[in-house]
Chains A and B, each alone.
Chain A
Amino acid sequence: MRFILCFLIGCMPLCSVAQNDISISFHHQIHHQKLILNERSRISPQSDSVIITTLKYYISSIQLLWQGKTVFRESNSHHLLNIEESKSCTFPLHTPKNIHFDQMEFCVGIDSISNVSGALGGDLDPTLGMYWTWQSGYINFKLEGIHPKCPSRKNEFQFHIGGYQMPYYPLQEIKLSIPNKKQIDIYLQLEKLMANLDFKTQKSIMIPGKEAMDFSKRFTQMFSTAQ
C-alpha cells in the first residue's frame, strides 16, 4: 500500500512536468483597430463604412512545427471562435514541456471526415448555429453585416462558407511563423478578407460551391502575427 502511494506521489511531478500549456489568442481587427460588432468601420479610406454583425468560424487541426517538422499535433482539434464571446477566442494548447517551435499550422473550417461522422459534441455540436440543416455539412466561416451598397433587404450581407465535397472543399490551411513563446497572438485583419469585395454583386453565399470556394481563398491572406 505504502509502496503504491509512494509510486503515485512520485509520478505526480512527472505528470505535471510532462505537460505545459501554451495559450493562443485570436484578435480581430480592421486596419489594426479592434473590430467591434455592430459599429461602423471602413475597409479602405475611399470606401463606404461597413458594419459587422456576426463573425464566427472554426479553427481546426492545429500543429506546431520546428524547422519544418511537426512537433505537436492537437488531438480533437476543433475550436469555434465567436467574436461575440471573447472567451472563445483564447484557448490553451496542451503541449509537452520545453517544446521548440517556430511555426504554427491550422485550418479554417472543418475537415471532410468530421463532416460525414454524424452528430458530434463540444464545439461541433449542431446546436451552435454552424451546421446546415437543409443539407448535411458544417459552415466553416460565417460573416454577416451591413454595407450600404448591398442591394438586399436592409443592405445586409451574409457569407456562410462551407462544403466538404470535391471540387468545392473550401477548407483552407494557414501557416504562420510564430515566436517560441507561451502566449501566441494571432491577428485576423478583416480588411484583407473584404478587400475588393463588390458588395453590389456579392451579398450572399449560403451554399457550398464555386463561389464559396473562391471566397475561402481569401482566408489565406488575413491572418498574421503582427499586430
Chain B
Amino acid sequence: MRKGIIYIALFSFFALVSFTSTEPLFHVPSGWPKPSYDFSKNTLSQDKINIGRALFYSPILSKDNTISCASCHLSFTGFAHTDHDLSHGIDGKIGKRNAPALMNLAWGKTFMWDGRINHLDMQALAPISDSNEMNENIAHVVEKLNQSNLFKNLFYSAYRDSLITGERTLKCITQFMLTLVSANSKYDQVMRHEDTFSSQEKNGYLLFQKNCASCHTEPLFTNNQFANNGLQQDTVLLDNGRYAITHIASDSLTFKVPTLRNIEFTYPYMHDGRFKKLSQVLNHYTSIPQHASTLDSQLQKPIQLSANDKVDVISFLLTLTDKEFLYHPKFQYPKKLFSQSPNGL
C-alpha cells in the first residue's frame, strides 16, 4: 500500500515536472494586452506550426518556385528585408513598399502598411498573388502542395487527413506567424526588474515616452493605428497610403504605425524605406514641414530634441533588440525538415 502511494507520488511529480517544462506554444507576456487573434478558431499545435514554418520558407508559394516569404522576411533581422528600401520579388521585379518586420502579429488588427488585410489568416494571399512578389494564385499553390509528398505527410500528421485545402494552408502559415513573439529585449527585462537601464537609456526612455509613445505605444510599440507622419510623398511611387483602400480624404498619406521592436535591425525605415539610419528618422521628426493637411495631430506641434537627446533616444531604441527572438532556431529555415526535399519542393 505504502509502496503504491510512493509510486503515485513519484509519478505525479514527474508528470508535473514534464508538464511544466514543456514550453507553451504561445503565451501572453505579463502585462501585455489580450491578443486580437481569436485562437479558438485556429487552435495551435506543434504539427501545424511546423507546416506553417515549412510553408514560410518554401518557394513553392511562388509561381516559378523561386520566392518564399523568407526571401523578404529574414529571421535574423526581425523578419524585415534589411538593406532593401523596396523588395524584389519574382523575376527581380521591385515592389512598391518596404517589407515590414514580422513580430507580435497576434496583437495586430489589420495588416500591410495601409491595413488592407483584415485578418492574419488572409495576409499571405496578398504577397502570393501580387505580380511583383510571388505572382501565384492560392488555388495553384494548393494543387502543388497536394502533389508534394513532404507536405502531404505533414498535413496528414497534423489533420489525420492528407487533403490540403486553402483554409488549412492559410491557417498553418498563421500558426507559424503567431509564434513570432518578441518580448525579451533589454527593455522587457528592465520592465520585469531583471536588468536596469544605463542613465543614457533611461533619459532616452523618458524622452521617448514624452514624444513618441502616443503612437508607438508600449508594450507593443505601436497603437495599430494609421497616421501621416509628415513624409513628403515620393514623386515616383506617388503612394497615397490608406486612402487607396478607404477613399476617405482624411486617410490620405496615412500609413500603419510600425512596431519599434528590434528596430536596430529592421532598417531601412518608413513605408518606402527612405531612411537608412535612426538618426535620419529622428531628424525627420524634429523638422516636419507643417503644411501637410492630414498630418497627425500629435505632430502638429514640432517635436524638439537636442542633438544629445537624439543620441539618448537612439540608445533607448537599441534596448528593444531581442536577441533571443532574432536568433531562435525555431524561427529559422527548417533544415532538418527540408533535408530530404530541398526547400519543400
Contact = CB atoms under 8 A, between A and B. Distances in A.
Interface string A114-126: 0111111100111
Interface stretch (B15-23, B112-120, B149-157, B312-320): B112-120
A136 B118 contact: yes
B299 interface: no
- The dominant DSSP class at the B interface is helix
A104 B38 CA distance: 34
Given A125-B166, A125-B167, A133 B129 contact: yes
B245 A135 contact: yes
Contact of B167 (A115, A116, A126, A137): A126
Contact of B139 (A124, A127, A135): A127
B117 A127 contact: no
Contact of B247 (A131, A135, A136, A209): A209
A134 B119 contact: no
B170 interface: yes
Nearest to B129: A133
Contacts of B167: 119-121, 124-126
Nearest to B245: A135
A125 B247 contact: no
Interface size class of A (residues with CB under 8 A): 20 to 34
A218 B170 CA distance: 34
B120 A118 contact: yes
B248 to A, nearest CB: 11
Contacts of B28: none
Interface in B138-185: 138-139, 142, 165-168, 170-171, 174
Contacts of B128: 133
Interface residues of B, number: 28
Given A127-B165, A135-B117, A119 B138 contact: no
B125 interface: yes
A125 B41 CA distance: 15
Contacts of A134: 116, 126, 129-130
Q: Max chain B CB contacts within 10 Å: which of A121, A131, A135? A: A135
Contact of A126 (B117, B118, B166, B247): B166
B209 interface: no
Contacts of A14: none
Contacts of B168: 121
Given A129-B139, A136-B117, 10 more contacts: A115-B118, A117-B119, A118-B121, A125-B165, A126-B138, A131-B122, A133-B129, A133-B130, A133-B137, A135-B245
Q: Which 9 A-B pairs have the closest CB atoms?
A: A118-B121, A127-B166, A133-B129, A119-B121, A119-B170, A121-B167, A136-B118, A135-B116, A127-B139
19 contacts: A118-B119, A118-B120, A118-B170, A118-B174, A119-B119, A119-B121, A119-B166, A119-B167, A119-B171, A119-B174, A120-B167, A121-B166, A121-B167, A125-B165, A127-B166, A129-B139, A133-B130, A136-B119, A136-B122
